[in-house]
């Protein structure tokens, strides 16, 4: 136990009113009453009311009675109390702390401390409760009755249930590629305004497809209480890219699916996964069983891995995770790997994620910081180098991760098992980790996952906390929908990452003469090889040609804004699927980047934009996930916002009344700029401000961009002095990125 266990039954009791179920993200008022036990609370003793690190409940404030999140605290006997709120004043995962100290007087048994969260008596709308669902949201109370600053948890804790709101968005999800004639399914769900799957969907929708589908009904109904509808046993007999639309009673499109490509044959098929997330047993929310059920049944993932911080994983919990991975793994339906996050300090190598092929393997913790049982401490691997040594004979794979701490792959890397780098998660976007790998000459793939803490793997909406981005997804191209097949795809770097969207992405290298394709990195020794005329993402080849054909094929649910074609650290071309003559009245203002690599990387972009001698006809935010943050247009036409980035990007799109006249003024703490509207074109204007790609970009788009799909072919000359790591980053108009893993060519 992290706290004292001294006589908890004599430390008092606590209750909260009202009890019951409350909508995620809604404003409520709660009265928490602590009644002192046998010891009372002595002079300078204190209470802590704590919430999980993952919770994004509104931050308590004590100075503005009419504003949101106003909190009052009083003692029934008139004792003077000192009250503070601190985001990190208790042992994780119960970090967030309302601290109440008795500074004049004391409490006897039966005396009470009354805390009103969201006190509405003076006009406050209430406390904004957390934006994601939890069956047992606790107001955990800890008591320092004897003024020793040694706290005891009450034996029974007040709790409420947080449930989803009504749907505001519907999603239709298909696989990304199937062979003609094979069965597939259509998954449908509604989400509330904070991204929670909603069970309050009561509507009938029409279904329309661009290809003939055997087994597709004309319509489908949602019944209240259902979180999803799944249509099984569908098949398509012709080749092409399938799109299915959900239509309301008026025939308007409510949702459009991601594309699914049908081909005559393919040795590999794509499977979507979130390989990194946590539950309440470590620092997340809801149980590990809930975690996997959500991934399978509400996010419709094919692959999922629980990755708790190792220094919080007890031996009992590690055994339980192994039981769950075996239970939930079902070939052809859902694949789970036993996994854990090696959470070493940054100076010792930083975060890594370990996926085991089999259950029953030893966990090698970075420390026992929150594990009291030290009986297996000799199995710890306290540095990344120690970790790779401990895993050298294991049937596993590893990827580098950036969370609070970041993976320093310059300190340690093992090409035998560390096959990928995670460039995106709910923490943000971190392409600099890939750049580190290129600078060191590593050959790694590109993954994206969530590291979600809110119990929503595969659909990890960031909510209203420091998690500044929607959680990512990894698409693994595998020979079989089995654990062995998925592991083969991971080891061969046959995968691509996205910031949460499901797209078709294929990159190929084509050769005029035979090239040598290696079964693994040839630096490992005699790994075997074969001669080929083409290669896919993740492959490593020796090529005698001076140049090759590089083919890019992408199809997403949203139009493609641009494709960056890269060779390692060098951008060879920025391709936009439209020409200067097609540009219209539509402009984008994008803020992006981060302060630095560590925990304090958040960059504030609070500010405004306004026009002179022109006006905004319409304005749409981009990647505005935190609905608490302001984004509004004033009566004068000014756009005002509050926003942060943690490596990714946000911004807005505006339709101008006049495409050429006037000036655009942008005012933020970091960038202040006036721009002639006539100077905004297809090529972006960039205004840098230090940090890691911390900047504002402004550019123009066509009024309508029809290019959801495109195919590019480029002749690329190969360098002789280093690897040619050919890959693309695709920017989609809906605010998402997707990255292909590099093809590694050397001469």
DSSP string, 27-51: EE-EEEEEE--TT-B-TT-EEEEEE
- Burial per residue of 352-367, b for 16 or more beta-carbon CB atoms within 10 angstroms, e otherwise: bbbbbbebebebbbbb
Edge to edge, the sheet with strand 240-242 lists 177-179, 260-263, 240-242
Q: Which two tokens stand for residue 17?
A: 């009113």
Co-location of 654 and 643 in the same domain? yes
**Among 336, 331, 189, which Cα is nearest to 273's?**
336
Tell me the CATH number at 178. Answer: 2.60.40.3450
For residue 319, is it left (φ>0), alpha (ψ between -120 and 50) or beta? Answer: alpha
H or E, element range at 587: strand 583-594
Residues near 487 by beta carbon (within 8 Å), at least 6 away in sequence = 337, 355, 357, 397
Number of domains in the chain: 5
Q: What backbone torsions phi and psi does residue 275 show, to the nearest 5 degrees?
A: -95, 15
Co-location of 21 and 127 in the same domain? yes
Co-location of 406 and 467 in the same domain? yes
Q: Which two tokens stand for residue 459?
A: 């659909």
Tell me the CATH number at 715. Answer: 2.60.40
Co-location of 663 and 736 in the same domain? no
Q: Which two tokens stand for residue 527?
A: 């790994």
The pLDDT score that the predictor gives to residue 600 is: 78
Co-location of 273 and 231 in the same domain? no
DSSP string, 371-406: ----TTGGG---SHHHHHHHTTTSSEEEEE-BSSSB
Co-location of 80 and 121 in the same domain? yes
The pLDDT score that the predictor gives to residue 464 is: 86
What 3-state class would DSSP assign to 505? strand
Co-location of 458 and 325 in the same domain? yes
Co-location of 134 and 193 in the same domain? no
Which of 218, 235, 263 is at the close of a domain? 263
Co-location of 714 and 698 in the same domain? no
Q: What backbone torsions phi and psi does residue 456 show, to the nearest 5 degrees?
A: -130, 55
Tell me the CATH number at 130. Answer: 2.60.40.3490
Which residues, listed in sequence order, are joined to residue 99 by a DSSP beta bridge? 48, 84
Q: Is residue 1 part of a domain?
A: no
Q: Is residue 655 part of a domain?
A: yes
The pLDDT score that the predictor gives to residue 1 is: 54
* Domain that residue 108 falls in: 8-163
Q: What backbone torsions phi and psi does residue 199 show, to the nearest 5 degrees?
A: -105, 20
Total residue length of the chain = 747
Q: Is residue 550 part of a domain?
A: yes
Co-location of 69 and 31 in the same domain? yes
The pLDDT score that the predictor gives to residue 723 is: 95
Torsion of the alpha carbons at 100, 104, 108 and 112, rounded to the nearest 10: -40
**Among 7, 8, 91, which Cα is nearest to 371's?**
91
Co-location of 514 and 431 in the same domain? no
pTM equals 0.96
Q: Which two tokens stand for residue 250?
A: 């008026």
Rounded distance between C-alpha atoms, residue 433 and residue 420, angstroms:
10
Which of 163, 196, 230 is at the close of a domain? 163
Q: Is residue 2 part of a domain?
A: no
Q: Which residue bears the tokens 């703490």?
A: 669
Neighbours of 325 (CB within 10 A): 23
Rounded distance between C-alpha atoms, residue 201 and residue 218, angstroms:
19
The pLDDT score that the predictor gives to residue 247 is: 97
H or E, element range at 732: strand 724-732
Q: Which residue bears the tokens 């995968």?
A: 495
Residues near 168 by beta carbon (within 8 Å), at least 6 away in sequence = 190, 191, 192, 193
For the chain (747 residues), the mean pLDDT of every run of 10, in chain order, is 88 98 98 98 97 95 98 98 96 95 97 98 97 97 96 97 97 98 98 97 96 97 95 98 97 97 98 97 96 98 97 97 98 98 95 97 97 96 97 97 91 96 95 96 97 95 83 98 98 98 98 97 95 98 96 98 98 97 97 87 93 96 93 94 92 97 97 97 95 95 97 96 96 97 97
Cα torsion 277, 282, 283, 288: sign: positive
Q: Is residue 226 part of a domain?
A: yes
Q: Is residue 3 part of a domain?
A: no
The pLDDT score that the predictor gives to residue 596 is: 83
Co-location of 137 and 174 in the same domain? no
């Amino acid at each position: 136990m992290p706290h004292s266990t001294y006589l908890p039954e004599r430390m008092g009791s606590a209750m909260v009113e009202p009890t019951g179920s409350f909508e995620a993200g809604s404003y409520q008022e709660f009265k928490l009453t602590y009644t002192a036990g046998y010891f009372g609370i002595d002079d300078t003793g204190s209470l802590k009311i704590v919430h999980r690190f993952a919770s994004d409940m509104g931050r308590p404030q004590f100075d503005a009675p009419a504003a949101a999140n106003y909190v009052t605290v009083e003692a029934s006997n008139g004792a003077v109390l000192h009250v503070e709120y601190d985001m990190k004043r208790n042992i994780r995962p119960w970090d967030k702390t309302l601290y109440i100290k008795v500074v004049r007087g004391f409490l006897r048994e039966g005396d009470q401390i009354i805390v009103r969260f969201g006190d509405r008596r003076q006009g406050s709308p209430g406390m904004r409760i957390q934006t994601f669902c939890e069956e047992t949201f606790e107001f955990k109370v800890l008591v320092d009755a004897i003024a020793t600053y040694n706290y005891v948890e009450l034996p029974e804790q007040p709790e409420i249930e947080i449930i989803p709101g009504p749907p505001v968005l519907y999603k239709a999800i298909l696989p990304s590629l199937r062979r003609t004639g094979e069965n597939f399914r259509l998954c449908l769900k509604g989400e509330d305004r904070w991204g929670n799957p909603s069970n309050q969907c009561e509507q009938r929708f029409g279904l329309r497809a661009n290809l003939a589908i055997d087994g597709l009904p004309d319509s489908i109904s949602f019944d209240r209480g259902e979180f999803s509808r799944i249509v099984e046993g569908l098949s398509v007999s012709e080749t092409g890219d399938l799109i299915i639309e959900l239509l309301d009673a008026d025939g308007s499109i409510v949702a459009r699916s991601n594309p699914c490509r049908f081909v005559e044959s393919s040795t590999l098929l794509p499977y979507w996964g979130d390989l990194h997330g946590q539950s309440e047993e470590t620092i997340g929310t809801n149980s590990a069983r809930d975690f996997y059920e959500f991934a399978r049944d509400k996010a419709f993932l094919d692959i999922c891995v629980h990755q708790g911080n190792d220094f919080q994983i007890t031996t009992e919990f590690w055994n339980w995770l192994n039981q769950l991975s075996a239970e939930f793994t079902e070939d052809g339906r859902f694949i789970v790997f036993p996994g854990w996050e090696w959470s070493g300090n940054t100076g010792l190598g930083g975060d890594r994620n370990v996926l085991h092929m089999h259950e029953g393997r030893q966990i090698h913790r970075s420390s026992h910081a929150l594990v009291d049982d030290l009986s297996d401490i000799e199995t710890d691997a306290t540095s990344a180098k120690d970790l790779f040594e401990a895993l050298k004979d294991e049937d596993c794979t590893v990827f580098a991760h950036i969370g609070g701490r970041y993976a320093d792959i310059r300190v340690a890397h093992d090409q035998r098992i560390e096959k990928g780098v995670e460039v995106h998660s709910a923490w943000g976007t971190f392409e600099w980790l890939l750049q580190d790998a290129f600078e060191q000459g590593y050959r790694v793939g590109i993954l994206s996952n969530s590291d979600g803490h809110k119990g929503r793997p595969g659909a990890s909406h960031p909510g209203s906390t420091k998690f500044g981005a929607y959680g990512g997804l990894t698409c693994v191209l595998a020979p079989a929908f089995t654990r062995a097949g998925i592991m083969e795809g991971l080891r061969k770097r046959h995968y691509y990452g996205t910031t949460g969207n499901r797209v078709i992405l294929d990159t190929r290298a084509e050769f005029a003469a035979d090239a040598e394709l290696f079964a693994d990195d040839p630096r490992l020794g005699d790994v075997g090889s074969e001669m080929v005329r083409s290669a896919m993402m993740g492959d490593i080849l020796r090529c005698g040609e001076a140049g090759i054909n590089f083919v890019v094929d992408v199809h997403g649910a949203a139009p493609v804004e641009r494709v960056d074609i890269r060779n390692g650290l060098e951008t060879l071309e920025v391709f936009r699927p439209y020409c200067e003559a097609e540009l219209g009245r539509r402009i984008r203002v994008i803020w992006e980047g981060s302060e630095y690599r560590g925990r304090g990387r958040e960059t504030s972009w609070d500010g405004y934009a306004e026009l002179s001698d022109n006006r905004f006809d319409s304005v749409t935010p981009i990647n505005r996930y935190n609905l608490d943050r302001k984004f509004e247009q004033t009566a004068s036409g000014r756009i005002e916002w509050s926003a942060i980035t943690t490596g990714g990007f946000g911004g807005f799109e505006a339709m101008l009344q006049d495409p050429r006249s006037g000036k655009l003024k942008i005012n933020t703490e970091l960038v202040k700029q006036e721009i002639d509207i006539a100077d905004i074109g297809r090529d972006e204007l960039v205004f840098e401000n230090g940090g890691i790609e911390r900047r504002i970009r402004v550019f123009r788009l066509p009024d309508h961009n029809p290019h959801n799909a495109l195919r590019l072919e480029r002749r690329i000359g190969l360098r002789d002095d280093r690897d040619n790591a050919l890959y693309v980053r695709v920017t989609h108009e809906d605010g998402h990125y997707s990255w292909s893993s590099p093809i590694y060519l050397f001469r």
